[in-house]
Amino acid sequence: MQLNKVMEDFKISLEDMKMALSKSGYLIESRLIKQLSGKSYTLFPNETYPDPKTEKSREIDVYANSEKTRKTLHRNERFNIEISHSLVIECINNPTPVIVFKDMNKKPFTIFEKFKYNKIELKTLEESSGIDFDFNDFTICNKEFHYNQLKRNTQYCSFSQKKGGKNQEWMASHEEKLHDTFNKLFDFVNHHFERKREKFLYAPQRMVTFDYLFPVIVFQGEMYEAYEDTDDVQIEKIDHAIFEFNRYENESSSLLVDIVTEKYFPKYLSILENDMKITAEFYETYYSDKSVEFRDAITKVVF
């Protein structure tokens, strides 16, 4: 009788279940999956990867592969250019706003080697500066490439109420959950980058193959950018930030991470589609102007 009374006290109501789910990240994850499936992505919800320290299995909220953009060139022999991207998504239901801090440095650091991609190129008969140099100029210097459209943030905080005391005092702090999310994205991206690189080694000849890997955090709640201006703090509401996450393991390493609000996510997908479009056009223009040596396909992999 006593046991039944205890069990009854711990029985959760439907309303409490709904409230708990609304505060979690599960529902936003389902909504994003619905959007991505409508955009012809191949989806892998809760994709697993090994923790690099413990080797235990961990998971990311959503891993998604885009459909491929293909360009076919007919020269002496036909060959294909195939462009795609993958999304590594973590969903966060943030009940309090997240703040990213504006970088006040007037000379921003380069994005070189701070975003991931795998590619296989075909060797050209006229080796001048080479496609690596042209590609770096295209991505690193081109304002159309989305990583160059916003100034990067490198610091963030969230808010929590101070425990105890009569007044409800709010504190700004470096939220541990968000830091853990950045680390998960960093580990997952590096793991899948290596796996994709192995697959690329067996790509067919007569093909240029390229795949971006975009890590992204999607907030259900609000996000702001803050900076100090003449002894006053300015705070502006934003929907998209590009965050540079830095971690040291034997040597310093950086990864660019898109942070977007859920309502901005459809716009973000359109931005990536434009990245794919201009990437495909870049390769089409490059190889249309050059003779290609099909017999000597070479693999170029960038870390």
Token pair of 272 as six digits:
């990536």
Quick one: pLDDT band at residue 27, thresholds 50, 70, 90? confident
pLDDT at position 203 is 58
Q: Is the pLDDT of residue 297 over 50?
A: no
Q: What is the mean pLDDT of the chain?
A: 83
Rounded Cα distance between 87 and 65, Å, is 6
Say which range, 12-16, 92-96, 174-178, 280-284, has the weakest mean pLDDT.
Answer: 12-16
Grade residue 25 by pLDDT with cuts at 50, 70 and 90: low
The arithmetic mean of pLDDT across residues 200-221, rounded, is: 82
Q: How far apart are CA 278 and CA 219, in angstroms?
A: 28
Predicted TM-score (pTM) of the model is 0.86
pLDDT for the residue 24: 65
Tell me which of 124-128, 218-222, 269-273 is least confident.
124-128
The alpha carbon of residue 2 and the mean position of all alpha carbons in its chain are separated, in whole angstroms, by 52
Q: What is the mean pLDDT of residues 188-217?
A: 80
Which whole number is the average pLDDT over 123-133?
62
Which stretch of 15-24, 97-106, 181-190, 236-245 has the lowest confidence by average pLDDT? Answer: 15-24
Tokens of 29: 């994850």
Confidence of residue 187 (pLDDT cuts 50, 70, 90): very high
In tens, the pLDDT along 148-168 reads 999 899 999 998 888 765 667
E-assigned strand segments in 98-239:
98-101, 116-124, 156-161, 170-173, 207-219, 223-229, 232-238
Q: What's residue 246's pLDDT?
A: 94
Tokens of 60: 């990311």
How far is 13 from 122, CA to CA, in rounded Å? 62
Q: What is the pLDDT of residue 223?
A: 97
Residue 90, pLDDT > 50, answer yes
**Partners of 258 in beta bridges:** 216, 242
Helices 26-38 and 265-288, axial angle in degrees (round to 10): 40
How many angstroms separate the CA atoms of 157 and 302, rounded?
32
Q: What percent of the chain has pLDDT over 90?
A: 44
> What region, left, alpha or beta, does residue 13 occupy, with left being phi > 0 and alpha being psi -120 to 50 degrees?
beta
Confidence of residue 219 (pLDDT cuts 50, 70, 90): very high
Residue with token string 């991207």: 85
If pLDDT is split at 50, 70 and 90, which confidence band does 123 have? low
Query: What b/e sequence results for 65-94 when a residue is b if at least 16 CB atoms lie within 10 Å of its CB, and e otherwise?
Result: bbebbebebeeeeebebbbbbbbbbbbbbb
Q: Where are the domains of the chain?
A: 79-302
- Give residue 296's pLDDT band: very low, low, confident or very high (50, 70, 90): very low
240 — pLDDT class (breaks 50, 70, 90):
very high
Rounded Cα distance between 226 and 214, Å, is: 25
User: What CA–CA distance (Å, rounded) separates 171 from 164?
Assistant: 13
